[in-house]
Structure 1
Amino acid sequence: MSRLIPSLETFAKGSFATAAGLSTVGFGLLYYGQNYLIYPSAFPPGSRTDVPVPTDFGLSYEDLNLHTPDGIILRSYLLRQRKELDHHQAGRVETNESQTDEEFAATRPTILMFHGNGGNHGHRIPLAKVFYIKMRCNVLMLSYRGYGHSDGSPSEKGLKLDAQTALDYITNDSSLSKTPIILYGQSIGGAVAIDLASRNPSKIRALILENTFTSLPALIPNALPLLSPFSFLCHQKWESALKIPLIPRSTPMLLLSGVRDEVVPREHMQALWEVVGRRQGIKASEADGNDEVKGDGQVGEGRSKFVEFENGTHNDTCVQEGYWTTIAEFVASLGDSASISRL
């Protein structure tokens, strides 16, 4: 037995050392490798090479190569409005015979799209098509760094630079600079939109946010439950709940939430709406007669609204009944452009 005890002691010390070593490696992988979990730009397979283009969907477009301050090229798409669209579903708008296409584009809203963390911007062309064809908006589809054919690797700092670069392009364009700019963000794209609006309070007319979160560390227990004890290691913060109060009260927001979202619990969108309500004196419990609308309030010329879709999950809320009608009515309520036909 006396010979056995030193062996057990040695084994115990060795096991402790091994566990400590594995924990250190685990912590290191979590800390330094989390970008691969948060920004899976290669998923689904082929997303870094197979990027649909608008002409695949019958849309003319401009290939837009945006150059960021840190030397990254973002290969994005711009759908610029024209007086006459060769599409039978094109929304009807008032035009002036003497207007050029560029002058007409300057009278329409501009949508700056921020997509979710999977796939690429080409996968969202059907969404851009609704904005472009039905609502007659200009649309800039940003391709984040490390996504699609864009250079670089994604990170919170990098995506913030990308968003600012896209906004700077719009505000320096001869026609787009005259348009009301509306940010549309899905999932992590909503966090990108909130951050951009908080840093450019005078340049953003409105925000449309779908299935986004209060912060990434707060999301980890649901998205990655096995890693919840280590959420303190998350250095990609995206603190949206802290950024909303920095956005002017006069900037309307439309929050769209899928009740059955399996990635971002509906409580995150509800919490963000509470923050919006505190910012501008809206009672989050108020409703306006629509069973899906859980909060509503008058904000300047537009309305901030929170709308839930009972059957919406993380990736299909955008195809739920009433989704695009809600967005079209919100855009029309901003009062900055000519009327559009109802969807």
Structure 2
Amino acid sequence: MTSNENASPEVTTVDSINNQKMNGLTLSELCCLFCCPPCPARIAAKLAFLPPEPTYSFNVDSTTPSKLSLKLSDRADWQYNQRELDSFEVFYAQSSRGNQIACMHIRATATPKYTILFSHGNAVDLGQMSSFYLGLGTRINCNIFSYDYSGYGASGGKPSEKNLYADINAAWQSLRNKYGLSPDKIILYGQSIGTVPTVDLASRYEVGAVVLHSPLMSGMRVAFPNTKRTWFFDAFPSIDKVPKISSPVLVIHGTEDEVIDFSHGVAIYERCPRAVDPLWVEGAGHNDIELYCQYLERLKKFISVDLTDNSA
């Protein structure tokens, strides 16, 4: 299984900044990167947000006008039969910042152990991720709930750091209210840029568990690896929020990650109060961890063993 980030513009964007760093940044290049004055929103926009052309839309269901149905374009990676489509429920949630957020609930199993609130990586949308979600949920016996960030897919608004936090809040409230799930039955899963809203939410609510897949410490630390502190103009300061997470945390990272260095995963792991044994995938990069057999094996063990032990 793959999260379809293999040709992600996120790689190009961050790597180009890292290449500039390796060659030495001039004063003009620094000014260009951070603008004047520097602020988190501008850094965030330069480092992270490159939404793809939408691969799906929500249509009014022909049989039930009050419901929306999923329509995939030719750019989506998978076309479903009707039985598979029946496992998808799609709708809009309203964020506190006034944006309509596209949400997707996948009933992957009849007897789910948990529902995973999945915050995906950059340069993909729900249409591209849907086949991965269905396969993942089936294999680990969990339902999957996901959403598109503002400006991605069928979601309104524009992507920004503040919108990221409002978007996951809207998804969280919808998951809790619409499906009646208690927090202990929800696993928050963030991948790459999706670890940013995941960490933020997990720092404010105790949940069943948290998975941080290729997490970043902060925006500045990605662009400039020698950064040792969180500056006031930094974006995505997850490293300062993870100590507040009271839930069990599984950190996953590839040792050869070319976008978010492996050291970020290690630092995040070391700051989590209730971190379980991490998954360091030897030789894996940023976009191929899901292709390694230990990925699914570790997730299954996390759910069936680690979380059982933590609740005892």
| Normalised-by-shorter TM-score class | 0.7 to 0.9
Give the structure 2 partner of residue 253 of structure 1. 249
How many residues align structurally? 259
In structure 2, how many angstroms separate the alpha carbons of the residues matched to 1:127 and 1:319?
Answer: 11
Counterpart of 2:151 in structure 1 is 146
- Name the counterpart of 1:27: 35
The CA deviation at 1:131 is 3.0
Instruction: Kindly provide the CA deviation profile for residues 117-165 of structure 1, in whole angstroms up to 9, marking residues without a partner as x.
Output: 2222322223312332122211111111111121001111111011111
Q: Are 2:151 and 1:113 aligned?
A: no
- Which residue number in structure 2 is paired with residue 296 of structure 1? none
How far 1:46 sits from its partner (Å)?
A: 5.8
User: Is 1:67 paired with 2:67?
Assistant: no
Q: How does 1:7-46 map to 2 (within 5 A)?
A: 27-28=35-36, 33-43=42-52
- Structure 1 pair 25–335 and aligned structure 2 pair: CA distance change class (3 A): closer
Residue aligning to 2:104? 77
Whether the 8 Å contact between 2:54 and 2:152 is mirrored in structure 1 is no
Residue equivalent to 1:91: none
In 2, the alpha carbon distance for the partners of 1:111 and 1:38 equals 26
Question: What is the CA–CA distance in structure 2 between the aligned matches of 1:134 and 1:275, rounded to whole Å?
Answer: 30
Structure-2 separation of matches of 1:313 and 1:219? 15
Give the structure 2 partner of residue 207 of structure 1: 210
Q: Secondary structure at the match of 2:80?
A: helix
Q: Distance in 1 between matches of 2:261 and 2:31?
A: 30
Identify if the C-alpha distance between structure 1 residues 26 and 218 changes in structure 2 by more than 3 Å, giving closer, same or farther.
closer
Deviation at 1:242, TM superposition (A): 1.1
Contact 1:185/1:210 (8 A) holds in 2: yes
In structure 1, distance between residues paired with 2:92 and 2:208: 25
Query: In the aligned structure 2, how far is the partner of 1:263 from the partner of 1:186?
Result: 13
Which residue, out of 134, 142, 148, partners 1:137? 142
Q: What is the TM-score of this pair, normalised by structure 1?
A: 0.66
Kept in 1: contact 2:51–2:122 (CA 8 A) = no
Deviation at 1:257, TM superposition (A): 0.8
Looking at structure 1, the residues matched to 79 and 32 of structure 2 have their Cα atoms a distance apart, in angstroms, of 50
1:56 aligns with 2:28: no
Residue 3 (structure 2) aligns with: none
Q: CA deviation at 1:254?
A: 0.8
SS in 1 for 2:277: strand
Could you tell me which amino acid in structure 1 is paired with residue 262 of structure 2? R
CA pair 310-180 structure 1, distance change in 2 beyond 3 A:
same
- The answer (yes or no) to whether the contact 2:216–2:265 under 8 Å persists in 1 is yes
Q: Answer yes or no: is the 8 Å Cα contact 1:260–1:311 preserved in 2.
A: yes
Q: Which residue of 2 aligns with 1:324?
A: 296
Q: Supply the distance in 2 between the matched residues of 1:304 and 1:75 (Cα, whole angstroms).
A: 32
Residue type of the partner of 1:305? Answer: D
Alignment of 1:174-253 (within 5 A): 174-177=179-182, 180-201=185-206, 204-221=207-224, 234-235=233-234, 237-248=235-246, 251-253=247-249
- Aligned-pair CA distance for 1:188: 1.2
Q: Note if contact 1:209-1:256 (Cα within 8 Å) is conserved in structure 2.
A: yes
CA shift in 2, pair 1:71/1:316, >3 Å = same
- Unmatched 5+ residue regions in structure 2? 1-26, 58-72
CA distance in 2, matches of 1:36, 1:239: 15
CA RMSD after TM alignment = 3.2
Q: Which runs of 5+ in 1 are unaligned?
A: 1-18, 84-103, 281-302, 337-343
Question: Which stretch of the first structure deviates more once superposed, 129-138 or 254-263?
Answer: 129-138
Q: Is residue 41–residue 48 contact of structure 1 (8 Å, CA) maintained in 2? A: no
Query: Identical aligned pairs, as a percentage?
Result: 27
Worse-superposed segment, 72-81 or 140-149: 72-81
Higher normalized contact order (CA 8 Å, seq sep 6+, divided by chain length) = 2
Asked whether the equivalents of residues 35 and 154 of structure 1 are also in contact (C-alpha less than 8 Å), the reply is no
Number of the residue aligned with 1:161? 166
Give the drift of 1:267.
0.7
Question: Could you say what secondary structure the match of 1:183 adopts?
Answer: strand
Give the conservation status (yes or no) of the 8 Å contact 2:120–2:193. Answer: yes
